Chain A
Amino acid sequence: MTELNRVDLKAKDFQSDQEVRWCPGCGDYAILAGVQRALAKQGIPPHKVVTIAGIGCSSRFPYYMSTYGFHTIHGRAPAIASGLKIARPDLQVWVATGDGDSLSIGGNHFIHVLRRNVDLKILMFNNKIYGLTKGQFSPTSEFGKKTKSSPFGSVDHPFYPVQLAVGAEAAFVGRFIDVDAKVGGDVLAAAAAFKGTAFIEILQNCVIFNDGAWDDLAQKEFRADRTILLEHGKPMIYGQKRDKGIRLVGTRPEIFTIGENGLTEADAWVHDAHDTDPTRAFLLGRMEWPEFPSPMGVLRSNPRPVFDQLLCDQVTEIQKTKKADLQKLLDGRNSWVVGA
């Protein structure tokens, strides 16, 4: 993408003139600011970026970005973004979506866009609740969740979004908590630089309908003990005192304390984000507090051929050898002349 010349930009260059209308205290504000900072940092100007969203609170995102934007219909953003990216591979396309939008009504488009590996950045704001329809359980709500539509507790088993994404062949999977600007910035920068579908699950707090859903992880005092920041090539060590590790016993992850039972840092599972085998990424997708520290950072970054590029290359290749002659096409193989 030679066209995308890097320029010096500030986060405010990505702010639109529209008043931001999320609820006060909503996690979306931090995500918006983080994305604007990340875009400024990568240096691609707003007119080369398109933001596309489905429906839901998260999907108001495009209105607040100074880029080209499209607020579409419920669940369909990946399909619309795919069409745009195929038609216009010169533009960088970001998709903003939520747990309901992408995993429920848009589940089909979600898995297929990951499978194809279209060059899109998908930000999935997971607040484990339907916010815009005022509080019903979502496909990521925990079993037994009491909501307006499940007054006696939900009997729906939830998705693990990372596992779903890995199962759908996601090439890039990132994860961060809305309030964690540092990790968020790094994950967004890595996603921006990735060629292919970059899926990011953002643990986002809905202050009105599911307040504190991620508090166990998000609160500063717990974060170091209950989450683990994954870094490629580094052993999985965590904890305020950096005294805990994750090791693999066969295909089972296990927590251990460094220095106990003869286990040292050298026994820890070394994170390989580029592993072509999805098995370990799948295991990471299942590791959740309280059984495990929840993994954050870049869980998977495994570049493979990009759909829109392949599709456009096929066209270019054929154009090299075959002339576009409309008259010849219309005439077809077997024509005949009447009269003279």
Chain B
Amino acid sequence: MSDAPSSHDFGLSIKPVETLESVVIRFAGDSGDGIQLTGSQFTAASAAAGNDTATFPDYPAEIRAPVGTLAGVSGFQLHFSSKDILTPGDRADVLVVMNPAALAAHKKWLKPGGVLIANADSFTQKNLLMAGYAENPLESDALADYQLFKVDLSRLTGQALEGMGLSAKEIERCKNYFALGMVFWLFERNTDIIEDEINQKFASKPTMRDANHKVFQAGWNFGENTELFAIRYRVPAAQDIPPGRYRSVSGNEAVALGLVAASVQSGRQLFLGSYPITPATDILHSLATYKEFGVKTFQAEDEIAGICSAIGAAFGNALAITTTSGPGVALKTEAMGLAVMTELPLVIVNVQRGGPSTGLPTKTEQADLLQAIYGRNGESPMPVIAARSASDAFDSAFEACRIAIKYRTPVMLLTDGYIANGAEPWQIPRVDTLPTIDANLLTSVEQLGGEKLLPYLRDPTTLARPWIELGHPGLEHRIGGLEKWDKTGHIAYDPQNHHNMVKLRQAKVDAMVQEIPATNILGAESGELLVVTWGSPWGSARTAVRDLIDQGKSVSHVSLRWLNPLPPDLGDVLKRFGTILVPEINNGQLIKLLRDKYLIDCKGYNRIAGLPITVAEIKQAVLDHLPS
């Protein structure tokens, strides 16, 4: 670690320090309490201190559910470590609760013996009733299993702001910075980053800026001066992280960056047609700010117009994207078929959430895999790839664009709510190492060498048709959703031609196996059990399998980026293991594909709770299936 100072600017602490390898901390409060902000700022400080980090924001669908209710509780979990970590942690070592509802809703995530910091001021009769408590748990032995720290956050915040002339409401809104100051003290975090953040965030509101500075410092001082806290904790900088430049990135940010990178590397203007939907909207937000890269974002009137505008832009030779979540994919289905039929490059990003219907908008799930692969009318094959983590979402988005352009095809990129909103350190790629993407446009009649223009002529290795740049004389052509004659692209109702074209469109997707590298196996190349994951369970599965290997178990792990087509060597890999275990946050979808394709029985681990699958769950599932 080079630029990770360990001192802070509020003076040195005199209290003793205990060193820990990893800590999982969870903040919980009303959705108006600034919990997500508090969590992400603590994350930024931890990352800057050289820790590996992984986060899990857990927030309600309502923007501001009634204050003090269980429905309105927003949570943010951060795992920070001196080791390389892959998950936000199964359960928390430290839980900070802003009110009784937060305690009631999130106590289950705190490890027995864990540190519980409660805003005691908020444990009023009214709030206790709303949270379902008959009596105040802070005053009984109900929390005897935990190290309880009662802090009068509201009162102390008010004291710190005395004389500033702020309203009670404004004072109340500052209390998250008191909590943040306190945990900064508790975990020796450098405070510079927060000072900067407050200056930026409240640049236009100097009073609130000064207030939050004061409150943050008061929180830190409280930690140092109170007799409540006897020791501080130190999580040293991680040593096993590959050298390089890092930043914190969420999955949605990483997707947006990957798309821009693909635009630059392909020389195609980026067009996004999108309709706001949780949890995908942040991709639209990010891309809307990247105008210096020529990015054009179109907030369409609905999901259908989102994808249709993108198809129009693709016809006009842009790198065209539409971003959405499951319900939006359902609406875009017919248009996806049009993109399959017209063989235009298009990337559809599905940030999966709990379904069916409106389902669980803010919770994570992996239940759109079969929709992605099969969910269109007719034989409508489409490549599908999935990101396994926030940082992997950059590479996955770039790959989706590369495939879309190279094969002239719509590509579905799957992420999920957990990847989208969770943040982790990302080793920033050097731009000069990024591959270029050859758009290989047909731009003039001379390129035809005297031959007639055939809009559906095939490249022999990719089976891709030409991407014809509009606006050139002699290249005028017509495409559409009706079945095409091979090569000419004219309307065709011929039976044999339809049969051939159905097979051809499938062969084109099948040909993409040439893009898939050899399957990377964590652990032995053969053995008793192989855990196969796709998407976000990667982190938990990797962690679980690593631990089990350390315990001498015969377990390996494979994570799939490519889901359609599947990797060409996957069948051989599966056959080398006695048992195949497939953990998914759905009712068993990849498992169907594997059984269908390889005629191998697989075991599922399916927990569909709107939450990431934990390390402990996967370990237990592996142990349940290992021969005793």
Which A residues are closer than 8 A to B by beta carbons? 16, 18, 45-48, 50, 52, 55, 62-63, 65-73, 76, 79-88, 90-91, 108-109, 112, 311-312, 314-315, 318-319, 322-324, 326-327, 329-332, 334-340
B428 touches A337 (CB 8 A): no
A-B contact count (CB 8 A): 211
B146 at the interface (CB under 8 A from A): no
The residue on A at minimum CB distance from B468 is A68
Q: Say if the beta carbon of B479 comes within 8 Å of chain A.
A: yes
- Contact between A336 and B293 (Cβ–Cβ < 8 Å)? no
Instruction: Judge whether A79 and B473 touch: CB under 8 Å.
Output: no
Pull 25 A–B residue pairs with CB atoms less than 8 Å apart, ordered by A.
A18-B490, A46-B476, A47-B470, A47-B472, A71-B482, A73-B308, A73-B334, A79-B301, A79-B304, A79-B305, A80-B312, A84-B312, A85-B312, A86-B271, A88-B317, A90-B471, A108-B302, A319-B294, A326-B264, A329-B290, A330-B257, A332-B428, A336-B4, A338-B2, A338-B243
A91 pairs with B271, CB closer than 8 A: no
Interface centre among B241, B300, B312, B476 (most CB of A within 10 A): B312
Q: For A327, list chain B residues within 8 Å (CB).
A: 430-431
Chain A: minimal CB distance from B435 (Å): 13
Instruction: Kindly list chain A residues whose C-beta atoms are within 8 Å of the C-beta of B169.
Output: none
What is the CB-to-nearest-CB distance from B269 to chain A, in angstroms, rounded to a whole number? 7
Question: Is A87 in contact with B271, judged by CB distance below 8 angstroms?
Answer: yes
Q: Bound state CA distance, A162 and B243, in angstroms?
A: 65
- Write the residues of chain B forming the contact surface with A, with a CB cutoff of 8 angstroms: 1-4, 44, 47-48, 50, 193, 238, 241-249, 257, 260-261, 264, 269, 271, 273, 290-296, 298, 300-302, 304-305, 308-318, 320, 334-335, 337-338, 342, 428-431, 470-482, 490-491
State the Cβ distance, A131 to closest chain B Cβ, in Å: 17
Contact present for B245 and A82 (CB under 8 Å): no
Report how far A62 CA is from B480 CA in the complex, Å: 9
Contact call A16/B478, Cβ cutoff below 8 A:
yes
Q: Please, how many angstroms separate the alpha-carbon atoms of A46 and B173 in the complex?
A: 62
**Please, how many angstroms separate the alpha-carbon atoms of A55 and B470 in the complex?**
22
Docked Cα-Cα span, A83 to B291, in Å, equals: 17
Which one of A80, A324, A330 lies within 8 Å of B294 (CB-CB)?
A324
Indicate which residue in A71, A81, A312, A330 contacts B312 across the interface (CB closer than 8 Å): A81
Contact A336 B478 (CB under 8 A): no
Inter-chain contact A66/B476, CB cutoff 8 Å: yes
Inter-subunit contact B316/A88 (CB<8 Å):
yes
Query: Chain A: which residue is nearest B482 at the CB level?
Result: A71
A82-B312, A83-B316 in contact; A112/B471 too (CB < 8 A)? Answer: no
Contact partner, B242, options A18, A73, A109, A338, Cβ 8 Å: A338
Using A87-B313, A87-B316, A314-B291 as known contacts, say yes or no to A71 and B473 having CB atoms under 8 A apart.
no
Contact across chains for A330 and B261 when beta carbons are under 8 A apart: yes
Asked if residues A331 and B309 are in contact (CB atoms below 8 Å), the reply is no
* B243→A47 contact, CB < 8 A: no
A158 to B428, CA, bound (A): 58
Assess whether A337 is in contact with B246, with CB atoms less than 8 Å apart. Answer: yes
Q: Across chains A and B, which 9 residue pairs bring their CB atoms closest together, nearest first?
A: A339-B243, A71-B480, A83-B309, A83-B312, A79-B308, A84-B312, A69-B478, A79-B305, A87-B316
